[in-house]
Amino acid sequence: MKTPVLAINFKVYNTSFGQKAVDIAKAGEKAAKEYGIEVIVIPPATELRRIASEVSIPVFAQHADPYDFGAYTGWLPIAALKEMNIKGVLVNHSEHRLRLDEIVAIVEAAKKHGLETLVCADTPIAAAAVAAIKPTALAVEPPELIGTGIAVSKAKPEIITNTVQKVREVNKDVIILTGAGISTAEDVEAAIRLGTAGVLVASAIMKAQNPEKVINDMAMAAAKAYRK
């Protein structure tokens, strides 16, 4: 994973499926090229194969299970992601919470299959616990700000600075991202100034009138703030 990062969690909005999802992913690809940053798109499981075949930027799954191919009805094996050219997996999102042993199993299985991991944590302490598992990246997202349009980087900057401090005590390499309520280019800039390498964002893009413009503005802000 390169830095800075604009990771777009599509969640399961009505814009997260079909052609709209492809258009948003293509806007991400365009911004990644234009500003030289890492844009990661994270569509629902049903859209993974199509989007991975239409864009060259990394596509991550919103969740996957630590299984190989086999008799696992209703689960999404990590082995299948690899076959679809998916580059990584989001783990333990606050809307899809897991126990620590389950997080460990997914991160280990992803490593075995050569996939990256972006693990979510709701507090600085949880982020430090996650950092000890050595994922590729982690995102600190206070659940009470998710989907509110109130950016954690503005409303609760101490959550970000505490996360960076606690995580670096246990892991010097993991990429740290900021998420929850990130709405504007300014919010992205603040997240980077507070010591993280980018953002994990959903509603500001998925619910926008003009998602392409929001992606462009956030990507430009990330590139600019990260260079300084």
Extract the annotated binding site for substrate.
Answer: 9-11, 146, 181, 202-203
Q: Which residue of 81, 107, 200, 225 would you call a contact of ligand 13P, by CB under 6 A?
A: 200
C-alpha–C-alpha distance, residues 77 and 208, integer Å: 32
Residue 167 CB contacts under 8 Å (≥ 6 apart), including other chains: 124, 127, 128, 131, 138, 174, 176
x-or-dash string of contact with ligand 13P, 142-171, rule CB under 6 A: ----xx------------------------
Give min distance, CB of 66 to ligand 13P, in A.
Answer: 21
Using CB under 6 A as the binding rule, whether residue 214 contacts ligand 13P is answered as no
Percent helix / strand / coil, the chain, rounded to 5: 45, 15, 35
67 or 207: whose CB is closer to ligand 13P? 207
Q: Catalytic residue at 212?
A: no
* CB contact at 8 A, 198 and 3: yes
C-alpha–C-alpha distance, residues 50 and 55, integer Å: 9
Using CB under 6 A as the binding rule, whether residue 44 contacts ligand 13P is answered as no
Using CB under 6 A as the binding rule, whether residue 203 contacts ligand 13P is answered as yes
Q: Which residue of 55, 81, 129, 202 would you call a contact of ligand 13P, by CB under 6 A?
A: 202
Selecting among 38, 47, 63, 93, the annotated active-site residue is 93
Size of the site for ligand 13P (CB under 6 A): 14
* CB contact at 8 A, 151 and 181: yes
Q: Which residue of 118, 201, 215, 225 would you call a contact of ligand 13P, by CB under 6 A?
A: 201
Count other C-beta atoms under 10 Å from residue 18's C-beta: 12
> Which residues form the catalytic set?
93, 141
